[in-house]
Amino acid sequence: MPLDLRNYPLLANINYPEDLRLLKKRQLPALCEELRQFLLTSVSQSSGHLASGLGVVELTVALHYVYHTPFDHLIWDVGHQAYPHKILTGRRDQMESIRQFKGLHPFPWREESEYDVLSVGHSSTSIGAALGLAIAAEKEQKGRKVVAVIGDGAITAGMAFEALNHAGALNNDMLVVLNDNEMSISENVGALNNHLAKILSGDLYTQFREGSKKVLSNIPPIKELAKKTEEHLKGMVSPGTIFEEFGFNYIGPMDGHNVIDLVDTLRNMRNHPGPQFLHIMSKKGKGYKQAELDPITYHAVPKFTPDQALPTPKPCAPTFSKIFGQWLNDMADSDPKLTAITPAMREGSGMVEFSKRHPDKYYDVAIAEQHAVTLAAGMAIAELNPIVAIYSSFLQRGYDQLIHDVAIQNLGVLFAIDRAGIVGADGPTHQGAYDLSFLRCVPNMTVMTPSDEQECRNMLYTGHLLNTPAAVRYPRGSGTGVPIETQMSALEIGKAKLVREGEGLAILCFGTFLQAAIPVAEKLNATLVDMRFVKPLDKALLTQLASSHTQVVTIEENSIAGGAGSAVNEFLLSQKFNGQLLNLGLPDTFVEQGTQAEIYQMLKLDSEGIEEQINAFFS
C-alpha cells in the first residue's frame, strides 16, 4: 500500500512539477530530505534501484524547479537514477509497483508518462537524443529547452563523445549535466567552486564572453589570445578543458547536493545560447550511510529494513554467473595466455574474484561494448586467448565489431553471454531475447546453449580451446543444482545429447528449458533431445529423427523469429521433411518486466504451458 504521506508534508502536495514550482526556494532543502526518505522507505518495501536515485535527489528537484517540464525536455541516461523523477511526475503513489509484473517500469518509459522523453535502459544515449530534440526545438521556435543528464560511467562510451562532438559543431541550445559520483566532494568543490559556477554561468560573464567574441572576431590573433586566456582562467579552477574543446561552455564542478546553488546556476544557464555543460559532484547513496559506503551492493536491492543489513540470500544452486567466474579462475590458473574482458560488468558477470586473483589478465573497459569486442580481436591476433564476458542485451551494441573484427577474421574470441533469455524485473531493455538470432547467421561462429551448470563449464572449456569465434549463452539466476565436477571435458562440436527416446513426437531443447520439458516428454512419451549446439546443428541426429518422427517441437529462451528453431526448420525443410513443426520461444513482442516465473507462465513456457501449446498445436 502507498506510504503514509503525513510523514512527508511538502512532498504530499507535489503531484506534478508545477506543484513543485509553487514552493519558495528556501523550502527546497526540506523537500529534498523528504524525497530522499520517501525513496529509501519506498524501495526498501518494494525492492529496486536505490543508490543512484539517492545521489540525484537535489539535482532532480532543481531541474524540475527551473525547467518547465514536460514542455522542456529532460532526458535521463540509463535511468537507474530516475526514481526521484518518477516520484515528482505523477507516479508517487505507484512506486510500490516499480519493477513488478504489470507495475511501473524500472526506467524512464515514454508510454508511462509524458515526462519520460526517452525510453531508456542502456547507457550513453542521452546526449545524442537530446541533440536531436534540440535541433527540432530550434526549428519549432517555441522556446523549448533540452537537458540531458549523464553519469561519469556512461560518458565513457564512444557514442557519448560522438554526440558531444556533433553538438559542439552544430551549436544548438542544449544543456548536458554530468553527474560525477566517482569522487567524494573534496574541499575545492565547495563554497568557492559553487560561487565560481554561479559567476561563470551568470549574465554578466556570459554577456562579456559573447560580446568579446563579436568585437574580436575580425582580429584573429587577439581573438585567439582571448580564447586561450579564458581557457587558462577556467583551467585554474575547473577540469573542463576537454568539454570546452568540444564547443561547450563548461561550468563546474559544483556540489550536486546543494539544491539552492544548483537552482541558481541552472537558472543562469537556462537561457544561455549554444551548448552548455554543467559538471556536478555527487555521492551515490547520499543520505543513507550503508549505501554511501557500499553503492555497488545497494545499486539494486531486495526488500529490506533500512536500519538493518540487507537480508542474506537463501542458499540455492550457484548462479550461472558464478559458474562462469569459477571456470574463469580454473582456466586462468592453467592458461598463461588467457585474458578476460568486461564492459563494466565485473560484479554481474561473476568476475570479482578473478579480478583480484588475476589482475594482470583482467580488463574492464568501462561502458564500451564495441571497444571490448575489438580489444579482444587485437588480443587474439597477438595469440592471446581472450574471453569477452558480456550480457546478451549489451552484446547487441558490439554486433558490427563481432562480425567485422572477429568473425570475418575467424579469430579465437570466446563470448561468455550472461543474462540470455528472460532477465526479470529490468524489463524490455534487458531481456536477452535476440542473441541466438543475431549470432547464428554469422559465418565462423560456434554457438552453444548449456542446459545445466556442468554443461556450461564444459561448453566454456570447449569454446576456449577452439581458436575460432565461439559463444556460450546462459540465463540469469541459479542453475538446476546438478553436481559440478572439477574435471572438464571438451564436447564434440555440433553433437546433441539424446535424453529420452519416445514415439512420434520429438522435443528439441536449446538451453535450460530442458528441465521444464522433461516432465512433458515423459507424459507425452516423446523423444527428448538436449541440442546443445545452435551452430553447427547435429544434422545427423536431425536426419534420423525426421525419418522416425512426424512431429517436431523446438524450445528455446530466445526470439522465435530467426532463432534456434528457425535453424531446425531450415534444415528439416531442406531434407524434405513432411511432418509438423512447432517452434516455442519468445514472441515477436518486447517482453515486459516481471519475475522469470511470472513471464514463463505468461508466455506458456513453463511445463504446463509447454504441454498446453503442444497439445493445442497437434490436436
Is the C-alpha dihedral spanning 259, 262, 264, 266 positive or negative?
A: negative
397 flagged as catalytic: yes
Q: Which three cell numbers stand for residue 443?
A: 559465418
Q: Which amino acid is at 196?
A: L
Calpha distance 591→575 (Å, rounded): 34
CA neighbours closer than 13 Å in the CB half-sphere of residue 267 = 14
First to last CA, the chain: 45
Calpha distance 432→438 (Å, rounded): 11
495 flagged as catalytic: no
Q: Which residues pair with 176 in a beta bridge?
A: 148, 277
Calpha distance 148→171 (Å, rounded): 15
Picking from 153, 359, 182, the residue whose alpha carbon sits closest to that of residue 282 is 182
For 34, the enclosing helix (H) or strand (E) is helix 28-46
CA neighbours closer than 13 Å in the CB half-sphere of residue 489 = 6
- Which of 284, 286, 440, 457 is catalytic? The answer is 284
Picking from 181, 174, 201, the residue whose alpha carbon sits closest to that of residue 75 is 174
- Which of 34, 369, 453, 556 is catalytic? The answer is 369
284 flagged as catalytic: yes
- Which of 361, 397, 419, 457 is catalytic? The answer is 397
Calpha distance 597→422 (Å, rounded): 9
* E strand segments, 449-503: 470-473, 497-500
Q: Dihedrals φ, ψ of 339, to 5°?
A: -135, 150
* Residue 480 near residue 515, CB atoms below 8 Å: yes
Cβ neighbours of 556 (radius 10 Å): 29
Can you say how many angstroms the Cα of residue 156 is from the centroid of all Cα atoms in its chain? Answer: 14
CA-atom Rg of the chain in angstroms: 27
Calpha distance 114→110 (Å, rounded): 6
Q: Which residues pair with 75 in a beta bridge?
A: 148
Calpha distance 131→149 (Å, rounded): 12
Q: Map 63-76 to HEC letters.
A: HHHHCCCCCCEEEE
Q: Map 100-124 to HEC letters.
A: CCCCCCCCCCCCCCCCCCCCCCCCC
Q: Please identify which residue in the block is written with the cell numbers 564495441.
A: 370
Picking from 187, 334, 209, the residue whose alpha carbon sits closest to that of residue 269 is 209
Q: Which residues pair with 275 in a beta bridge?
A: 174
As annotated, the active-site residues are 284, 369, 397
